[in-house]
Structure 1
């Protein structure tokens, strides 16, 4: 049996058999659960302190606003310093910011500033972790399945984390929950420090993080192939968030109530998890690559069902079906890591992550703005139509760049 055949037959089990990956995976789960719980606790804390819905919403949104800034100006850290050091420092920064927010009497301005600090570290942490998977698992199929597992646990932990965070806050005050968040990040830092290998930095030269970040972004975006693959990473999520961001008004429009809101919020992650698991378990590397462009081209078409203002059951089916199409990312990952030079891998992964988070935030905002002027079901259907045309154009770019 060749080295290529082994990971195909073993699938996700071969990835989880790598001890160092299990450490990275466990650290990611700890920090992710801490992050989600901290988002809820901080939002509740700010509201209790100020009584202001606006400031409470800002406490939540502050986790998204600095993402592009951190991904653009700090991405160089992922390549200019040893990866283990970057991962540990980012987790420690997040732990420290959570601990500060838990201090009794901390002003609201400090609470928001600490939320922004952890958000600045977020894209560097995610990008460095993704680049590290290439070192731990190699650049082949194991890397693709490793990234897939990270995405699966991210989707699942977000659902579980919001539920667990809500339950936790019924038993303990928000500041105590924030201490649990700090403990999660600290435990992740310790796992990474003592459970992963020390590897040298990918790039050499002076440790000018901002300069390296900007020059790396220019190099990546100047490459036709990489630019096309980045667009294929960013644009589908921009449209995919529409039904989630409008779940509350749509549930109200069809009389589904709060239960409908919760189900609509869960449908996309559930479909995404199922699609990733099926593509990673049933298909081999070539099959996933052949699936990439067709799946990306049609994944937004289920939103067209919203033209009929479907019932809760049919709308859940449409959203979950669109989530299944997100399995296109497995083949995309393989193409992306093959196209990016080794010395730029950390910056490339950081830029990709920051861009995805940013466009999702923009997509939510634009969907909400559009729903101020048009019925929600028309907004979702329009997102499906326009998104299909846009993503189809990007698919042609990717084909042309091959």
Structure 2
């Protein structure tokens, strides 16, 4: 990555206030650029996932190959998140973000070339997934530079998650409609445009900041050493597991939504509602916690909330109907509001020079465990009913969350807001 010219207009801005509201976050010019770039990148990624899946099916006629093209969006996350995590700290963040967007645009552009072999298409899909955790980890670390490491950072992270959850509700539907009007290859061209637009927004809309760490060792060795350093800290390790374990169990009803909708004779409408309920609950919980609760209160409810957020799944044990299932999923999704306080703890616990690597590792682990959770839910459902699998995921997940909450409370600094009765 070549050096960018220094200029006096790229000096860090004064630190933003430590507390605020969602509107205060949008008042920060750099965040508006990051937010818009996030929305564009996400739109491009969703369109590329759908278009590539359809393109692979058109070329092969194989449902397995089509599903593989989609699944490859999850599996290589762990590669980029461990072997390339050092990129997030040893190069200026703006440069990393722009280069990642341009690499993704280049990969998708190669997919558009007529006659591209199926193996090349799948390899390019893997490249997108390898780059993604580096981009997302660098962007999260940059949020702390732009918004400070106080409440505005938490609200900024929350807004990006809300956009991601909203994309789950509308993105795939819009992508499907797009493919009615244009071919998969033409849809991929739209993705190239969104990645390039994101790169332009980040280049022009954010300041240049120096790298957090020096490049003293080879990249892969530095990345692995950074991961070991992050995971060796008992406090940081406990917080990482609190980010990872609940989603690993919470994906069970989404992974099994199609067979459960079939069991209920709910049809495609019921399937769509079952797929949407959890993201809707998550968005509602995040918005309420971000707009109505004080920062200290958000931190205080982290541990109690994380221990109960999966318990609504236990209600699946009685094989509930569609309306009750939706209520259980909405309730569980709302419990995800614990992540706002957890964000604050995590950014406070990680040394600044490791922040990029820690955020990259967090992203890679989160995507990986969700893929593992989906696979495990599918395997379990082969030996028992769908309802029993979801109920079991809720019960087992709640036990793990309670143990992790106990560990997080034991490692909590004395001056940090949190639960004092566990």
Q: Place the TM-score, normalised by the shorter chain, in its bin.
A: over 0.9
1:68 to 66, 74, 78: 78
- Following TM superposition, by how much is the alpha carbon of 1:21 offset from its aligned partner in structure 2, in angstroms? 0.2
Contact residue 44 and residue 195 of structure 2 kept, 8 A: yes
Equivalent residue for 1:345? 355
What are the equivalent positions in structure 2 for 1:3-402 lying under 5 Å apart? 8=19, 10-206=20-216, 208-402=218-412
- The RMSD of aligned alpha carbons is 1.3
Partners in 1 of 2:225 and 2:17 — Cα distance? Answer: 39
- SS of equivalent residue, structure 1 residue 327: helix
Q: CA–CA distance in 2 between the matches of 1:74 and 1:318? A: 39
Q: Distance in 2 between matches of 1:325 and 1:137?
A: 25
Q: Which moved more, 1:30-39 or 1:254-263?
A: 254-263
* Structure 2: distance between partners of 1:166 and 1:5: 41
1:154-209 Cα shifts (integer Å, max 9, x gaps):
11123221011000000000000000011100100011111110000001133622
Using structure 1 for the length normalisation, give the TM-score: 0.98
Q: In structure 2, how many angstroms separate the alpha carbons of the residues matched to 1:365 and 1:219?
A: 30
> What SS class does the counterpart of residue 372 from structure 1 fall into?
helix
TM-score, normalised via structure 2 length: 0.93
Moved over 6 A (4+): 3-7
Distance in 2 (CA, whole Å) between partners of 1:133 and 1:7 is 13
8 A Cα contact 1:80 1:207, kept in partner: no
1:261 positional shift: 1.0
SS in 1 for 2:382: coil
Q: Distance between the aligned counterparts of 1:344 and 1:128, measured in 2?
A: 11
**Structure 2, unaligned runs of 5 or more:** 1-13, 413-422
How many Å separate the matches in 1 of 2:297 and 2:17? 16
Question: How far apart in 2 are the matches of 1:63 and 1:384?
Answer: 26
After superposition, the C-alpha distances for 1:80-100 in whole angstroms (9 at most, x for unaligned) are 100001000110111111111
Provide Cα deviations, 1:224-253, integer angstroms capped at 9, x if missing partner. 100000010100000000000000000101
Note if contact 2:31-2:146 (Cα within 8 Å) is conserved in structure 1.
Answer: yes
Which ranges in structure 1 are unaligned for 5 or more consecutive residues? none
CA deviation profile, 1:240-293 (whole Å, cap 9, x unmatched) = 000000000001011111111111111111100000000000001101001111
Instruction: State the distance in 1 between where 2:18 and 2:82 align.
Output: 34
Residue by residue over 1:30-67, the C-alpha shift from the partner in whole angstroms, topping out at 9 and shown as x without a partner, is 00010001100000000001101111011101111100
Count of aligned pairs between the two proteins: 399
